[in-house]
Amino acid sequence: MLMYAAMRGAHKEIFDALRDIPVIDAHEHIPPEERRIARDADVFEFFNVTGYHIEHELYRAGMDQQSYLQLFDRNRSIPERMAILEPYWQRCRGTLFGRHVRLSVEKFYGFDDITPDNAQAISQRMKSSNCAGLYKRILRDACNAECAITQCGTADFASDTVKAVVPAPFACVNITRENLVSPKADGSGGMRGYEEGWTAIAVPGFAVPPQGFSRYLECVEEYVNQSRRMGAIGVKMYALPWGVPDRTAAESGFMHVCGGGMLPEYGDNPLRDYVWDVIADICGKLGLVVCVHSGFGGDWRYLRPSSLLSVVRRHPSVHFDVYHLGFPWVNEAAMLAYANRNVSLDLCWLHVISQGMVIDAMRMLADILTPGQVIAFGGDGIMAEKAYGHLLLSKENVAAAFAGIVNEGRMTLENAVDLARRWYYDNPKEIYGL
């Protein structure tokens, strides 16, 4: 399934040099291991995710919502559920999302595809391996990942194998009275069957809408502090249109919401603008990274990297790690980092969206950015196994991008491998203080 047989010259040499390098998996959504191993996992876990991942591929292949949900109905047998999946899986198994699923199944469960003939066997092997130490076996042993940085609504991770980034308040919602409370990620990370079970980031004043705007800001600060004490290394926000912070306008918006009104997720939102600016300031004091989703996902028309320019410059001592290279606004993201040294670009997710796009983008980034401003890999998934297939595809892409530069005589093979190692390991380790 890899392009290895077709690799030649510098492409093959760089890929071989990257096979076993240490990496930091800089963006995932995996839940705490105890939640994963408590679940009766089967082959359909590979398709159990919300958002623009393999589930979206199945939809684009023609599967409807009702049929998709039937894949997780344990009252149906595995053969019955495979009969539902099979026609749609055949249409998207060759996409990049499909390839990284198949690479992962082959690595951990010994089959190079998911078919009606082997689904039962894969499920049985998953059950046998679904025990304590699973994340170490996948992330440390198979991926050689020193750690994975995850976002699933908690910072409650007992192992150094996983570190947490927590969501900012009302990071991706319309603001109403009900969500003026602590961020209420359901803990599932978008994966069905993982809705309960670990230590919440508790701030007493967030239990009900706090009494007054000043008290609300105190709760916001305590939320970030409590997250840090629990081990969080960053706070996640979104590249929404980010206005100039105005406390008077923010307090007016707060009172409007407390009175039953609403402020929009997209468009003018002075409350969010002010609170997120406060959080950025707190992150600077605590040494936390501000992680920013940009581009594809949700209404991506509003999630442009250029929206971040004013806040990045208001907080020059805060590091902003911009996810997904702003796809499809790739050039905007590159310009944001080129003009601001406190910005890094995280290529998480991109390697399974478009190889051609990310290869071209990496050639540009190698030209215009300093070596410390790019993070090569984040699986952006909810099932730990899929990090392996995603990582392999990322190395395929990095090797192709850098081989082109080497073949043009603009970089030596040794320098290409050194830069790739930095993007995979040194940069995320330094940026996140690991």
Q: Kindly report, residue by residue over 72-97, the tens digit of the pLDDT.
A: 999 999 999 999 999 999 999 999 99
Query: Does one domain contain both 372 and 397?
Result: yes
Mean pLDDT calculated for residue range 221-242? 91
Mean pLDDT calculated for residue range 47-53? 71
pLDDT at 50: 56
What range defines the domain where residue 58 resides?
40-129
pLDDT at 53: 78
- Residue 83, domain member (yes or no): yes
Q: Which residue has the higher pLDDT, 385 or 180?
A: 385
pLDDT at 357: 95
For residue 23, the SS3 value is: strand
Domain boundary among 102, 129, 156: 129
Residue 20 has pLDDT above 80, yes or no: yes
- Residue 397, domain member (yes or no): yes
pLDDT at 210: 67
Question: Which of these, 402, 408, 412, 415, lies nearest to 376 by C-alpha position?
Answer: 402
- Residue 17, domain member (yes or no): no
- Report residue 185's pLDDT band, with 50, 70 and 90 as the boundaries: very low
Q: What are phi and psi of 21, to 5 degrees?
A: -70, 150
Query: Does one domain contain both 371 and 319?
Result: yes
Cβ atoms of 347 and 377 closer than 8 Å: yes
Establish whether the linkage from the previous residue to 328 is cis, with ω within 30° of 0.
yes
Domain boundary among 129, 147, 170: 129
Query: Does one domain contain both 262 and 399?
Result: yes
Query: Does one domain contain both 90 and 237?
Result: no
Query: Does one domain contain both 187 and 104?
Result: no
Q: Kindly report the pTM of this predicted structure.
A: 0.93
Query: Does one domain contain both 158 and 76?
Result: no
pLDDT at 194: 47
Query: Does one domain contain both 149 and 284?
Result: yes
Mean pLDDT of the chain: 90
pLDDT at 173: 63
Query: Does one domain contain both 87 and 204?
Result: no
Residue 7 has pLDDT above 90, yes or no: no
Q: How far apart are CA 253 and CA 196, in angstroms?
A: 32
Domain boundary among 80, 99, 129: 129
pLDDT at 190: 45
Mean pLDDT calculated for residue range 42-65? 86
Question: Which of these, 388, 316, 398, 403, lies nearest to 351 by C-alpha position?
Answer: 398
Two tokens, residue 343: 């910005």
Residue 187 has pLDDT above 60, yes or no: no
Distance of CA 23 to the CA centre of its chain: 15
181, 251, 354 from 216: Cα distances, Å: 9, 10, 42
- Residue 144, domain member (yes or no): yes
pLDDT at 191: 44
Query: Does one domain contain both 100 and 153?
Result: no
- Residue 4, domain member (yes or no): no
Query: Does one domain contain both 111 and 70?
Result: yes
- Residue 164, domain member (yes or no): yes
CATH code: domain of residue 303: 3.20.20.140
- Report residue 188's pLDDT band, with 50, 70 and 90 as the boundaries: very low
Query: Does one domain contain both 160 and 122?
Result: no
Mean pLDDT calculated for residue range 276-283? 96
- Report residue 257's pLDDT band, with 50, 70 and 90 as the boundaries: confident
pLDDT at 51: 54
- Report residue 155's pLDDT band, with 50, 70 and 90 as the boundaries: confident
Mean pLDDT calculated for residue range 369-377? 98
pLDDT at 377: 98
Count, residues in the chain: 434
What residues pair up with 291 in beta bridges, in sequence order?
236, 321
For the chain, what percent of residues have pLDDT higher than 70?
90
- Report residue 186's pLDDT band, with 50, 70 and 90 as the boundaries: very low
Residue 395 has pLDDT above 90, yes or no: yes
Q: Running DSSP on this structure, what letter comes out for residue 4?
A: G
pLDDT at 3: 72
Question: Could you give the count of Cα atoms lying within 13 Å of 375 in the half-sphere of its Cβ?
Answer: 30
Query: Does one domain contain both 307 and 250?
Result: yes
Instruction: Order across the sheet with 343-346: list the strands.
Output: 23-28, 145-150, 162-167, 232-238, 289-293, 320-323, 343-346, 374-375
pLDDT at 197: 47
Q: Which of 59-73, 177-191, 219-233 has the lowest mean pLDDT?
A: 177-191
Q: What is the dihedral of CA 307, 309, 310, 311, to 10 degrees?
A: 90
Residue 29 has pLDDT above 80, yes or no: yes
pLDDT at 159: 78
Give per-residue pLDDT as tens, 95-140: 999 999 999 999 999 999 999 999 999 999 999 999 999 999 999 9
What residues pair up with 321 in beta bridges, in sequence order?
291, 344
- Residue 81, domain member (yes or no): yes
Mean pLDDT calculated for residue range 166-179? 73
- Report residue 328's pLDDT band, with 50, 70 and 90 as the boundaries: very high
Two tokens, residue 24: 């930091």
- Tell me which range, 72-76, 155-159, 372-376, 380-384, is most confidently predicted by mean pLDDT: 372-376
Question: Which residue matches tokens 């105005």?
Answer: 246
Q: What percentage of the chain's residues is helix, strand, coil (to nearest 5)? A: 50, 10, 40
Number of domains in the chain: 2
Q: What are phi and psi of 10, to 5 degrees?
A: -60, -35
Q: Which residue has the higher pLDDT, 394 or 176?
A: 394
Q: Which of 45-49, 85-89, 421-425 has the lowest mean pLDDT?
A: 45-49
Q: Which residue has the higher pLDDT, 346 or 167?
A: 346
Report the Cα–Cα distance between both ends of the chain, in Å, rounded: 33
- Residue 28, domain member (yes or no): no
